[in-house]
């Protein structure tokens, strides 16, 4: 006999995680143990009704916060008129964004290729450099992250190299200039980056088969632990490249478009790269990336038959979003805002460093800041368990943080709030972090 009693209620959360466990392929670190239902501004909201302050602006991408009204309006309008085209067709949003990006950069960076992700833009830049120079060797930092496609992964050393077989031939690593953990020091014990760079390129020359094509670096290594290149380093690196006929590629995926307090991080150094790549910040959370280079390099690449014909090259929908991002950055003076908010954030972190011995270092620029946790300031010994515990406690208290943990490099929180954050939201995040660290050391 069929029962007329209602079926027992199914725990929707348990069902979700059961399905996730059965069907979602794991691709990196453990998933955050929350079901995210929506996001707005500086916060994400869970199905259970929790409000979580997002101190990473998504994957360091949502520089205008989540669901910015101008972005929402652009997507709604553009998706209803022109979303995707044959890759050989051009539309006004694509050409307009290309022009505006070129206008935001110094000469001779004038030619733009619009793509989808940072890995794809770095792949295209490396491919272009190899074609134009007729060489194949690529130099990058030993703690770098440039992406997971073949060429970009070959130039990535912070993670993901083991177990996949040979990378593209010709990849050479050089040490990153970490002032907090210096390997070459001067008479005062400070990092001697010039000597480090000289020795690094002596080793590059020793390993090279005479086919040095490019050097690709981040102005601030993010996955490497928020390591900022010392003032003067970028100019010296550019000279090393020029002496060897190499192209300098700057990966500004996370530092570009106002996050550091300048439109581009390289502006501080007065050094113009041969190629610059953008991604994360350009789409403000949507998949949009760019490669920008000079007329001369583009012409040589074209003459040699440069090919990067992908499904979503020059897509109009995300290009329209990119134009809206540029509108907001310009009209709301976001570079100035990021510099101011960055000083507020940094002051709060430095005050915390004075309070807690486990904060060994505070570093970064603008709204891309990092704090390195140590067990002892003298030995700089680190603990993955300490960082992981503070991360978990922050989430319990309503703050999402991202921590980088690498052998010999300490545990480093990467803090990258949206450029639209308020001072009150920064204070809220700093307060939660302060409480979590205080409980950990208490």
Looking at 143, 259, 337, 414, which residue is catalytic?
414
Looking at 78, 120, 130, 145, which residue is catalytic?
145
Q: Which two tokens stand for residue 426?
A: 């920064």
pLDDT the model gives residue 37 = 97
Q: Which two tokens stand for residue 52?
A: 């979580």
Give catalytic status of residue 280 as yes or no.
yes
Alpha helices in 29-146 (DSSP H): 57-60, 69-79, 92-104, 118-133
- Asked whether the CA dihedral 418, 424, 429, 433 is positive or negative, the reply is positive
Give catalytic status of residue 145 as yes or no.
yes
| Residue pointed to by tokens 């490019």 | 214
- Cα(first)–Cα(last) distance of the chain, in Å? 61
Given strand 275-278, what is the order of strands in its sheet? 109-115, 289-294, 275-278, 247-251, 212-217, 137-141, 171-174
Give catalytic status of residue 218 as yes or no.
yes
pLDDT the model gives residue 331 = 98
pLDDT the model gives residue 9 = 47
Domains in the chain, CATH or no CATH each: 24-68+334-441 (3.90.1150.10), 72-331 (3.40.640.10)
Give catalytic status of residue 414 as yes or no.
yes
Q: At what angle do helices 118-133 and 295-303 cross, to 10 degrees?
A: 70
Looking at 78, 254, 369, 405, which residue is catalytic?
254
Torsion, Cα of 182, 139, 124, 286 (10° steps): -10
Looking at 120, 137, 192, 218, which residue is catalytic?
218
What is the rounded distance in angstroms from the CA atom of residue 243 to the CA atom of residue 245? 6
Q: At what angle do helices 233-243 and 193-207 cross, to 10 degrees?
A: 20
Give catalytic status of residue 355 as yes or no.
no
> 149 to each of 58, 236, 274, how far by Cα in Å?
21, 29, 22
Global pTM reads: 0.96
What is the rounded distance in angstroms from the CA atom of residue 20 to the CA atom of residue 207? 46
Q: Which two tokens stand for residue 318?
A: 């995300």
Give catalytic status of residue 239 as yes or no.
no
Looking at 280, 337, 363, 365, which residue is catalytic?
280
pLDDT the model gives residue 6 = 54
pLDDT values of the chain reduced to their tens digit, one per residue, 442 residues: 455 555 444 578 999 999 999 999 999 989 999 999 999 999 999 999 999 999 999 999 999 999 999 999 999 999 999 999 999 999 999 999 999 999 999 999 999 999 999 999 999 999 999 999 999 999 999 999 999 999 999 999 999 999 999 998 999 999 999 999 999 999 999 999 999 999 999 999 999 999 999 999 999 999 999 999 999 999 999 999 999 999 999 999 999 999 999 999 999 999 999 999 999 999 999 999 999 999 999 999 999 999 999 999 999 999 999 999 999 999 999 999 999 999 999 999 999 999 999 999 999 999 999 999 999 999 999 888 999 999 999 999 999 999 988 766 679 999 999 999 999 999 999 999 999 999 999 8
Looking at 137, 228, 251, 269, which residue is catalytic?
251
């Amino acid at each position: 006999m069929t029962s007329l009693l209602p079926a027992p209620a199914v725990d929707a959360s348990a069902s979700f995680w059961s399905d996730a466990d059965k069907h979602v392929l794991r691709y990196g670190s453990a998933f955050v143990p929350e079901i995210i239902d929506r996001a707005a501004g500086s916060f994400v909201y869970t199905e259970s009704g929790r409000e979580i302050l997002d101190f990473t602006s998504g994957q360091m991408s949502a520089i205008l916060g989540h669901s910015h009204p101008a972005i929402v309006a652009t997507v709604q309008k553009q998706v209803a008129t022109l979303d995707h085209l044959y890759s050989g067709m051009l539309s006004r949003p694509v050409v307009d964004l290309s022009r505006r990006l070129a206008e935001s950069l110094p000469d001779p960076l004038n030619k733009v290729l619009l793509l989808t992700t940072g890995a794809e833009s770095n792949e295209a830049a490396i491919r272009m450099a190899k074609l134009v120079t007729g060489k194949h060797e690529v130099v990058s930092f030993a703690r770098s992250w440039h992406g997971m496609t073949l060429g970009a992964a070959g130039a990535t050393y912070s993670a993901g190299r083991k177990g996949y077989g040979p990378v593209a031939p010709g990849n050479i690593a050089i040490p990153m200039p970490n002032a907090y953990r210096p390997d070459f020091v001067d008479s005062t014990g400070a990092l001697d980056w010039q000597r480090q760079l000289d020795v690094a390129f002596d080793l590059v020359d020793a390993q090279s088969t005479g086919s040095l094509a490019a050097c690709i670096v981040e102005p601030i290594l993010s996955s490497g632990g928020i390591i900022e290149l010392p003032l003067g380093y970028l100019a010296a690196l550019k000279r090393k490249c020029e002496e060897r006929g190499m192209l300098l590629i700057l990966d500004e995926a996370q530092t570009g478009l106002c996050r550091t307090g300048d439109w581009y991080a390289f502006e501080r150094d007065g050094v113009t790269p041969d190629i610059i790549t953008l991604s994360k910040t350009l789409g403000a959370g949507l998949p949009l990336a760019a490669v920008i280079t000079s007329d001369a390099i583009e012409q040589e690449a074209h003459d040699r038959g440069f090919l990067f014909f992908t499904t979503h090259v020059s897509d109009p929908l995300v290009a329209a979003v990119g134009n809206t991002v540029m509108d907001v950055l310009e009209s709301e003076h976001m570079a100035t805002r990021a510099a101011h908010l960055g000083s507020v954030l940094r002051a709060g972190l430095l005050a915390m460093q004075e309070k807690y011995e486990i904060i060994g270092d505070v570093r970064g620029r603008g709204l891309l800041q990092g704090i390195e946790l140590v067990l002892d300031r003298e030995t700089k010994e680190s603990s993955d368990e300490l960082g992981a515990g503070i991360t978990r406690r922050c989430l319990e208290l309503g703050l999402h943080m991202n921590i980088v943990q690498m052998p010999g490099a300490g545990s480093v929180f990467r803090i990258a709030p949206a450029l639209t954050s308020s001072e009150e939201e920064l204070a809220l995040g700093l307060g939660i972090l302060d409480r979590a660290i205080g409980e950990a050391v208490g």
